[in-house]
Amino acid sequence: METIEKALAFEQTSLRSLSTSDRVKISRQAKTLILELNQIYKAKKDEKIMDIMKRLTVIKRKVEKRLNGKHLLNNI
């Protein structure tokens, strides 16, 4: 359950005025948490865990959008 607590704490992090290296760290941390939560979800099939993963994915996408630039995402 430590992973779930980490994920909930991660959701509270501020995404304002971050440097590029901070954004990379946040993106990697989100990915790690999502993968760990996925392993727990496979075993328990708890919808609350899936909701946490979805919220973390939204945060991760926002950060990556800023990292990659909007013009790169529009071409995909």
The pLDDT tens digits of the residues spanning 33-51 come to 999 999 999 999 989 999 9
**Mean pLDDT over all residues of the chain?**
86
* Domain ranges for the chain: 2-7+19-74
The band of 52, judged by pLDDT with boundaries at 50, 70 and 90, is: very high
Q: Whole-angstrom Cα distance, residue 74 to residue 76?
A: 6
Amino acid found at 16: R
Q: What is the pTM of this model?
A: 0.80
- Tens digits of residue pLDDT in 15-39: 788 888 888 999 999 999 999 999 9
In angstroms, how far is CA 11 from the centroid of its own chain? 8
Q: Helix, strand or coil for residue 14?
A: coil
Contact 35, 56 (CB under 8 A): no
Q: Whole-angstrom Cα distance, residue 18 to residue 26?
A: 10
